[in-house]
Structure 1
Amino acid sequence: MKPLRGLFLFLLTSLLLAATGCGRPAKTPETNGRIGYEIDATLGFAIEHPQSWIRSVQPDRNRQLPTVSWSAPGASPTARLDVTSLATGEAIGGFDRLLALFRAAHPDFTLTAREPVELEAPAEKISGATPERSFEVALITGRSRAFILAFSAPQEEFAEQRKIFQGMLDSFRILP
């Protein structure tokens, strides 16, 4: 039974690579010329990211859901992307529920804009800031999971880092 399980995992991984566009031109602007590609089958997503960015996983203190993060390299990282994956049942209430969860994690966040965005699943993009950082957040509701993609950077650096987030968002795929 174990050899069949290994074969199944290999075939599933191969299928996911093909389905998510491995081999197509990168959508994420190049940072130091290298792009990484993350497939997280546990949390149900795939995304491109600058290869030099540092990946970390932190459990959410309130719900015990992991958040996968990528941070620009350096002693005090400037830009950061947090991807939180929720089971659909935890996102009942749609975008308003996802926004409430984001605001609970960032109580000093001030919302400045909210608009629909075209992705492979229904999505909204919100913009705003805390006293220290500017944020652009994608709220995504898929059939099997919902996601909060929160990109942030210090306010003075946000505009120059924003195109990296847009590339990461464009590359984001929900896995079947």
Structure 2
Amino acid sequence: MQLSHVNQQGEANMVDVSGKAVTTREAIAEGELHLSAEALAQVKTNSAAKGDVLAVARIAGIQGAKQCASLIPLCHPLALSKVDIEFTLDEQNNRIITRCRCKLNGQTGVEMEALTGVNVALLTLFDMCKAVDPAMIMTNVRVLLKQGGKSGQWSRDEG
């Protein structure tokens, strides 16, 4: 299989999607922020000095997904119909699991938008909590699901 963003001369190339069918496309991406118990407790109790950590990170993640084409040079600007950011506070493992779901009716997939949304949400969580725990680690950013278009559905087999 050949890389789609490289032309015959080996140059960067924005893929022409004009001939592709408009279908409902969806992607879900996930990532984790590992942080101290103290920082996680402040997120959970909404007592962080900067304010409502999850609310700010949710809005940032949505904005990030919508700005994907401005950040990643060969991504198409997309009119997303839905961006959803979810957080799971895992106190046993001192982490916040972040998921971004993006959806649209269009000619190209939305996995890059979902990945961008997750990363921006994680970066915002980090920014909101860094005064309490500057040693936080962002890990395991990945696509869990993509569906729609010619290739149909793909999901990560995690076991």
Q: TM-score w.r.t. structure 2 length?
A: 0.31
The structure having more radius of gyration, on CA atoms, is 2
Higher strand share: 1
User: Which structure would you say has the larger RCO, counting Cα contacts within 8 Å and 6 or more residues apart?
Assistant: 2
